[in-house]
Amino acid sequence: MHDLLDQFLDWLMLERGLSDNTRGAYAHDLGVFADFLARRGRSSPAEVTRSDILDHLLDQKKAGLATPSLARHLVAIKVFFRYLCNEGFLASNPTDAMESPRLWKILPPTLTVEEVDALLRAPDVSTPRGRRDKAILETFYATGLRVSELSALTVDDVQADAGFVRCVGKGDKERVVPIGRKALDAIAAWMRGGRGEYSRRNPSCRAVFLSRLGLPLDRTVIWRYIRAYAREAGIAKPIHPHTLRHSFATHLLANGASLRTIQEMLGHADISTTQIYTHVDQSRLQAIHRKFHPRA
């Protein structure tokens, strides 16, 4: 089983062009699935049944796995078995009749505009680290970048005069995203008052956001910083790596932006991925209707 998993993971990178982060997510989810199958005595994919897959997902749900993570597990399993069938390792696919992972999805967690304002005010901008973290938060909310995309952002990617940033997303696809003046001002403040000091140990590094060692900030470190600032701002909601990204999209939609435009800015290959935000906006409209309509 593990030999086939290794071949599949190599195929993801070589043939599908997926990023290291995506490959790592597939490797983790399928590794957990393989361990579950081993405990059941399944030594090859040909022995795996639909019931095994459903029992694995139920097992993960009982262990506390969130609904989006369950959907991700199911996607990984479905892609793996489709690969095995296409390559001739399996005659039939046990996931063919399974429900679409869209049915497992829930609305993404978002912040209100007031909560975002409180979060953006949390860093102490009198210090270099505070200026850096303020710029990180402002850039996140202004652009809707993924954490990995922001971590990889270079000084050459920020086109302040034109008002956009360039980033490379999933599948090595490059896109251009508009960025607002407040975020650009925060980046400029960090570049003037902190980045030079942080880059002394590694002056050749072109990343915008550096650690004290002059290295690009790791995406997990960025996530920890955001959660810490959320607590400092008094935000009780659970904070996830994509919380500001989801808030960016939701607030754009609520203020009249088209779904297709949001799709372009988020870098979604399929607009169906972006359509989840329409449900968030519908909830807002229903609340307004209930509050103000005389016969609601």
- Active-site positions read 146, 170, 242, 245, 268, 277
Of all residues in the chain, what percent are helix, strand and coil, respectively (each to 5)? 60, 5, 30
Using CA atoms, how far apart are residues 76 and 81, in angstroms rounded to an integer? 9
Structure tokens at 249: 């999209």
Backbone angles phi, psi at 70, to 5 degrees: -65, -40
Using CA atoms, how far apart are residues 240 and 237, in angstroms rounded to an integer? 10
Local structure of residue 194 (DSSP, 8 states): I
Supply the Cα-derived Rg of the chain in whole angstroms: 22
Using CA atoms, how far apart are residues 107 and 118, in angstroms rounded to an integer? 23
| H or E element that contains 158 | strand 158-159
Helix, strand, or coil (residue 152): coil
Instruction: Work out the angle at residue 44's Cα, subtended by the Cα atoms of residues 63 and 62, and round it to the nearest 5 degrees.
Output: 10
Helix, strand, or coil (residue 175): strand
Distances (CA, A) of 117 to 92, 138, 244: 53, 10, 12
